[in-house]
Chain A
């Protein structure tokens, strides 16, 4: 059973986060350890395993980037373990400029402005990704996911700066 089937949802990128959370909570209750207090050792073990699977599925589907990656995996494209490099000069040049900007940030205001700019760029990329996944343009979607991973890295760097 794949993650979407587990929640009885279609394998689509568009997803209602609140609905997913509700389904998650319901399933979680059916697996609660208290329900198996008088059950056999085997039942308890199974419940623990299913809980782990449920949590894994929930964490994957609630995160847009992981969800996109998972959909592509279901379509036969594994990005999680790839070691390929991205060779898009324009995008990488922009990444270099981002890194330089982050290195030179001095105060809260600048960090704040950078976070806002980054959010805009990420959102654009994400809506592109959404269209590509819906149109089954898997290779293009894979590239957008790779780019979004760079954006995520920038976000982490910025968060470290603001701590």
Chain B
């Protein structure tokens, strides 16, 4: 299958690969997996006291599209508020990377990773 240029670019030069300390209160961690293909994605957001995402890192085990989707998302969410990041839709990711229909689930995975991370942050700051 032919990957789009943007997918190849993110795949060959993934942005923001790595990890933060998940026990740090300012760090939100989202873990998601796609049963259909066995891909696993970890997305971490560094969120300041004003609810702005200052930094993001990811680690993904999966195909090129899954890696590109998570790499793209780390770029997109930086500087956004939690609320803005939560609005990100998988269709935007799929469109930007020109994902074919069989790879749409990779963009869904990335969207769900953001949501899972925000959920984790809210749980951490429930009190």
Contacts and interface: CB of A to CB of B under 8 A. Distances in A.
Nearest to A149: B35
Contact of A83 (B32, B40, B108): B108
Interface in B16-43: 29, 31-38, 40, 42
A88 to B, nearest CB: 8
17 contacts: A82-B35, A82-B36, A83-B108, A85-B33, A85-B108, A86-B33, A86-B34, A89-B29, A92-B31, A92-B40, A95-B33, A96-B40, A96-B59, A147-B35, A149-B36, A150-B33, A153-B37
The 3 closest A-B pairs by CB, nearest first: A153-B38, A146-B35, A92-B31
Interface residues of A, number: 24
B89 to A, nearest CB: 14
A152 interface: yes
Contact of A93 (B31, B36, B104, B105): B31
A29 to B, nearest CB: 37
B116 interface: yes
A116 B83 CA distance: 45
